[in-house]
Structure 1
């Protein structure tokens, strides 16, 4: 049954990625919405669950929050290690993202490796979504139903964000689609794996805290600033608010 539910997550992930691909002419709106979805998933879904499941404090601070900060710093470190230094590029370059600095138009070259690393992190998270579904079925049908609704609903956002993040850093469409398909298949594999073992709740909570920090960094430091670079429109801000409110609605319905 857990694997069957994970198939629903598979379809929702593909639907999210397909939506991201179809609105390339409104890229700033896509990025604004993606940032809102990511903020909502972190603040309203991942972090509360991590605080509940991760266990006690470490030197006066909840373990989940320490891992949350560690995830944020890890994402920042990885980006700094992989990103290419800014420099002027041909304005027609596909990987050049225009910005205004000191009154001069420049372009920032985004390292494709950063996008692939971020996409891989999303795939890992989706695998853990599948594990969460399987673990919930081990607890009982009531818990399984709540987790299944939450996972399937926010996997639309996962698919949307996986494609957006991967392509944002200059990766070709083929690579972004490949990462999207991997992200869609990950919950099925994760759910299937729980047929052979039981995951400790504390370990799952710690993972959610760590990944929440990574996701928040991507939203705050990359996705949202990029959304407002060329089109600092009110509609972009509205999309961000709508994305966050949508996750709030899903969490409320799942609860």
Structure 2
């Protein structure tokens, strides 16, 4: 049953990516919405879940929060190192790509794929607990995978990667929850490591949303419509989380 539901997540992920690439003439609105979706996923979904699953304190601070901060810092350091390397490479070759580092986009998309695998694992584990729990988790996973597909395509393209690469990462993200759900027929991932991963991943996503996507969305189009898209993205995730409870 979990694998069948995961196929719905597969279709929703592709739908999210298709939407992202079809509205390129309103790029600032796409980025504003993507930033809002990511902010909502981090603050309303990933962080609460990670605190619940891996909330034991380490020197007075919950493990999930420590990993959340670590994820933010790792994303920042990795981007800066890649940017310095890219700048040096561009100087040697007399050019650049406008300061964009394609590897950052690919790494971010790969993290989205890993998150989608975890979604599939959570889906399979929920159906092992019971049908009611499984359907609740299925609603959350299938619905917010639209946002995952949207963000995976947007992140990959934002950093200067070719459309073909973005589509490949989108396909990988679509397949990921099916793989995760199928894996639960072989083993069950302990709750605490899953919560720790979600905390770390949340920090990475928050950095990308706050330091890259939202500033880019408002750089040339500081319009009210962009702000509304961001707020709408957060509200959409809030609705999904509320319906899943």
Residue 109 of structure 1 aligns with which residue?
99
Cα-to-partner distance string for 1:24-72 (whole Å, 9 max, x where unaligned): 0000000000000000000001111111111411110011101111111
Structure that is richer in helix per residue: 2
Label 1:109 to 1:87 Cα distance change in 2 as closer, same or farther (>3 A): farther
Tell me the TM-score normalized by structure 1. Answer: 0.90
In the superposition, relative to structure 1, how do residues 86 and 162 fare at CA in structure 2: closer, same or farther (>3 Å)? farther
Mapping 1:52-201, distance limit 5 Å: 52-83=52-83, 84-85=86-87, 108-201=98-191
In the alignment, what sits opposite 2:20? 20
1:6 aligned residue = 6
State the Cα distance separating 1:88 from its structure 2 match: 10
Conservation of the 8 A alpha-carbon contact between 1:87 and 1:109: no
Q: What corresponds to 1:38 in structure 2?
A: 38
| Other structure's SS at 1:143 match | helix
Gaps of 5+ in 2: none
- Partners of 2:88 and 2:218 lie apart in 1 by 18
CA RMSD of aligned residues (A): 1.7
1:240 aligned onto 2:230: yes
Give the number of aligned pairs: 240
CA distance in 2, matches of 1:170, 1:21: 14
Q: CA deviation at 1:87?
A: 11
C-alpha distance 85-58 of structure 1, shift in aligned 2 (>3 A) = same
Q: Is the 8 A contact 1:10 1:187 kept in 2?
A: yes
CA distance in 1, matches of 2:192, 2:134: 18
Contact residue 67 and residue 209 of structure 1 kept, 8 A: yes
User: Is residue 2:226 matched to residue 1:224?
Assistant: no
Structure 1 CA distance for aligned equivalents of residues 198 and 5 of structure 2: 20
Task: Show the counterpart of 1:29.
Answer: 29
Greater fraction strand: 1
Q: Alpha carbons of 1:78 and 1:65: their partners in 2 closer, same or farther (altered >3 Å)?
A: same
Q: Could you tell me how far apart the structure 2 residues matched to 1:20 and 1:158 are?
A: 11
**TM-score, length-normalised on structure 2?**
0.94
Aligned residues of 1:86 and 1:109 also touching (Cα < 8 A): no
